[in-house]
Amino acid sequence: MDLQLVGKRALVTGGSRGIGLRIARSLLAEGAHVAIAARDGERLAKAAAELAAAGHPGRIVSAQLDTGDDASVRAGVQRVREQLGGIDILVNNAAVPGGGQGGPITPSQTTDQQFVDAVNVKVLGYLRTSRAVAPDLIAQGWGRIINISGLAARLSGDFVATARNIGVVALTKNLADELGRHGVNVTVVHPGATVTERTPALIAAAAEQWGVTLEEAERRRAERTAIGREVTAEEVADVVAFLASPRSVAITGDAVTVGGGLVGPIHY
C-alpha cells in the first residue's frame, strides 16, 4: 500500500530515541521529510546523523526544544517550519519516562512536583506543540496530529502515568473535534510495554522487584499480551506511519492500541 507520504513534512517530538526515533525512521522510509526534536542536543545530533546515514529518501533535520516550556516550543517549531518549508504532520511523543520516577507511583506516594512535571511535559507539552503547529495545518487544509500516550490510561498501578495518559486522550478528542472541519485528523496511540533500548534495564528492575530470574521476568512481561511477546518500537512506528498518512482519513478522535493485545480487559 502506498501511504502517500512522499514529500510530507513531519515533526516528531521525543524523536532522539526509543519509539520516537523509530517513528522518524518509518516516516523517512516512506519518503516524508522529518524533523526530530528533543531536549538533549548531543543525543539529538547523534540520532539525526544515524537517520541520515541510513540513506532514506526523505530529508532529516533536527530542532532542540523543551516541550515543558512554551517559548522553547514556539521557537523550535519555527525552526522546523523554516527548515522544512512547513509542517504537515505532528507526532507528539516527548514525555518523562515512567511517570517521572522510572517506576510505578501510587497516589499516596505521589508528590505534587512529580505530578506537575509529568503533566507539564506530556499533556501540556502536547498542547503546546499542537497549538504551535495547528495554524499551519488549518491554512493548508490538511494535516495529521498523532499523540503517543500509553496503555497506562486503561490500567491502575501507576497513578501519574494513568492520569497523564488519560489527559492526552481528552486532548486528542477535543483537538479532533476542533480541527476536523479543516481537514486535520487527530488520533492517540496507546503502546503497551514496548521493546526499545530501555528494555533490558526494565527487565532487570522487574526481576529484582519480583525476586525472579531475568528469563522469568521476561516471560511474565510477555504473557500479559495475547500475542505472547512485547511489540517492538518498529511495530508501533508502522501503525503511526499509517495514521500520519492520507489513507487514515476515516480515523480521528479515537485511540488505537498497539500493545499486542492486553490480556483480560474488554474495552468498547
Distance of CA 234 to the CA centre of its chain: 12
Q: What mean pLDDT value characterizes the chain? A: 93
How many CB atoms neighbour CB 236 within 10 A? 26
pLDDT of 126 > 90? The answer is yes
Statement: residue 225 has pLDDT above 50:
yes
Sign of the alpha-carbon dihedral angle for 169, 47, 248, 234? negative
Mean pLDDT over residues 185-200, rounded?
A: 91
The x, y and z cell numbers of residue 63, run together, are 530542532
- Residue 150 has which C-alpha cell? 500509553
Q: Which pTM does this prediction carry?
A: 0.93
